[in-house]
Structure 1
Amino acid sequence: MRIPVLLMVAAGLGAGMGAAPLAAEVRVVADIGLKGSEAARHDAEADVIFVSNLGERGPGNDGYISRLGPDGQVLALKWVEGGRNGVTLVDPLGVFVQGDIVYVADTSTVRRFDRKTGAPRGDTAVPGAVRLNDLSVDAKGEILVTDSGSDDRAGAIYRIDPAGKVSEFAARDAALERPNGIAHMPDGSIVHGGRGVNLVFRGRDGKILREVTLPTGRMDGIIPLADGTLLVASQDGHGVYRVPPGGKAEMVAKDIPIPAAIGLDTKRNRLIIPQIVAATLTFVDLP
């Protein structure tokens, strides 16, 4: 088992309006073999963390999924690896754990792997996809996956039903910009970024219900909590916001150069923040 390098730093977390910041322990896990670490998702049942790794950027089939212990210890650096055992993973980004499946979005395909063994469990190609990014899966197995587009093409959001049928959830449009993070809310609505500094809430039919403005944009990972509070990574803000329903956003993790698709360890109330370029994970224990 590979032992992580832990860099201990201090952080101040927002404690609400008018209150003094609360101290929190922040640990950076480095030098464990990650490469282009984009998404981190905690599997509460097994108490492990799945991390997607882009590998070498480009069309090569060399992406991989790492399986880590709750403190960042490597259990299997290349638990699932492109080019081995019949696996294809080209620049994998989004990861989501639902039921017995680990869902992974790579460039143009949503792939499924057995949560315990890593064995392939099928895939769904998304015709016309430019760059699939984050994904969210509901209890019935319906998938929503963002397509972040490119510098000269707007993004889109796709729906994949449990039978594998692909349809548009939000059509490719300049007004959508380049959506990244997406999540199912406890009330059944869907939230995503991609419109400047706004979080967009949609109904199951894809129609916009409302928008919430944050101090900074380029939102990446979004984690909904049971009471409707959101944890939202902002690349422009270099950190993670806590956004309560109807309340003011506050930064709960600061000085993260490029926070990507965040995860939450609910057993420890711990944010897991991957950084692509640095190839690290930052753990923030929330008060």
Structure 2
Amino acid sequence: MKFFSSILFITLTSFTLSKAQSLQQIWKSEEKLPVPESVLYDAKSKTLFVSLIDGEPGKKDGKGGIAVLNLDGSLKNAEWISGLNAPKGMGIYKNVLYVADIDKVLAIDIPKAKIIFSTQVPDAVFLNDITVDNKGNIYVSDTRTNKIHLISNGKSELYLENVTAANGLKYSGSELYVLAGTELIKFNSKKERIVIATGLEKPGDGLELLPNGDFIVSCWAGIIYHIKADGTKTKILDVQGKMNTADIGYDDKSKTVYVPTFNANSVISYKLF
């Protein structure tokens, strides 16, 4: 009987560990957000930063900005930062919000809501996502040049090249995870390339790393995947033709995924099960 119970426990445990994640909608923002590209959850302020392109994704028109949402989806500040061009990916380090804006990375003092400096990235064309390591080094992808740049102490240098359609980034430990076209790739401290998953239906956009080593990945076209650490992928949302799913944000404590819908001009939150 004990032997049978042990087998049953192991079987149920294995099933639980291998079960794919799923999403359930919580809320949708009511106020129109002009072309939201990225959402970043800030645990300290318990708010959401949303980058707004409000124009063409690669045009320097001064129409872009950063809005702030409350965690219930209500609008806290529609024009927290204005006068940007086409802001996309964001990252936070020590009360500073870093934002990719076409060919430069902006540093914004969060308490003061003020741009304190910017770093020009040489030869950049379409800076897209940002991730920050535990020392404050900033990694930013340039999707159209297939490069990833490193910004340290306000200076930019080339970190990786020939990373096809590099977009979503996430730094963890000593490893950099990259969504490159339809692949999820890991680069270790020696910059060795390790492919984790291939065959995404559309090019990847947003990338979030879960505590157990799995990933939540979005494709701009309207798809979200759960990808296990071993590369097994499961589509958990497909809204193609209805809305986009751009650079997602994630709060691990509440297990909430925040999805900017780009041309649908809203942010939608989902519970991750």
The bucket for the TM-score relative to the shorter chain is 0.7 to 0.9
Task: Return the alpha-carbon distance in structure 2 between the equivalents of residues 271 and 209 of structure 1.
Answer: 26
The match for 2:67 is 66
Task: Return the alpha-carbon distance in structure 1 between the equivalents of residues 51 and 23 of structure 2.
Answer: 30
Structure 2 counterpart of 1:166, one-letter code: S
Distance 1:22 1:231, change over 3 A: closer
Deviations 1:89-108 (A, max 9, x none): 21111111222111100011
In the alignment, structure 2 segments of 5+ residues that lack a partner are 1-14
Higher helix residue share: 2
The match for 1:220 is 205
* Secondary structure at the counterpart of residue 94 of structure 1: strand
Out of 217, 227, 231, which is 1:243 matched to?
227
Choose 260-269 or 60-69, whichever is displaced more.
260-269
Deviations 1:115-152 (A, max 9, x none): 22211121111010011010101121101100011xxx
What is the TM-score when the length of structure 2 is the normalising length? 0.86
CA contact (8 A) 2:196 2:229 kept: no
What is the TM-score when the length of structure 1 is the normalising length? 0.82
How far the C-alpha of 1:214 sits from its partner, in A, is 4.1
Task: Return the alpha-carbon distance in structure 2 between the equivalents of residues 23 and 141 of structure 1.
Answer: 32
Deviations 1:240-274 (A, max 9, x none): 11112115212233326321110012332110000
The match for 1:145 is 140
CA contact (8 A) 1:37 1:279 kept: yes
How far the C-alpha of 1:114 sits from its partner, in A, is 1.2
Out of 171, 176, 182, which is 2:169 matched to?
182
Structure 1 counterpart of 2:147, one-letter code: A
Deviations 1:43-98 (A, max 9, x none): 0111100000012222211211001100111111000111xxxxxx2111111122
Out of 153, 160, 173, which is 2:151 matched to?
160
Distance 1:113 1:19, change over 3 A: closer
Deviations 1:22-51 (A, max 9, x none): 672343224x13111000001011110000
The match for 1:7 is none
Out of 102, 108, 114, which is 1:107 matched to?
102
Structure 2 residue 247 is matched with structure 1 residue 261: yes
Task: Return the alpha-carbon distance in structure 1 between the equivalents of residues 61 and 115 of structure 2.
Answer: 19
Task: Return the alpha-carbon distance in structure 2 between the equivalents of residues 43 and 23 of structure 1.
Answer: 21
The match for 2:47 is 48
Aligned residue pair count: 255
Runs (4+) off by over 4 Å: 15-23
Distance 1:47 1:129, change over 3 A: same
Higher Rg: 2
- Over the aligned positions, Cα root-mean-square deviation in angstroms equals 2.2
* Secondary structure at the counterpart of residue 277 of structure 1: helix
Distance 1:104 1:21, change over 3 A: closer
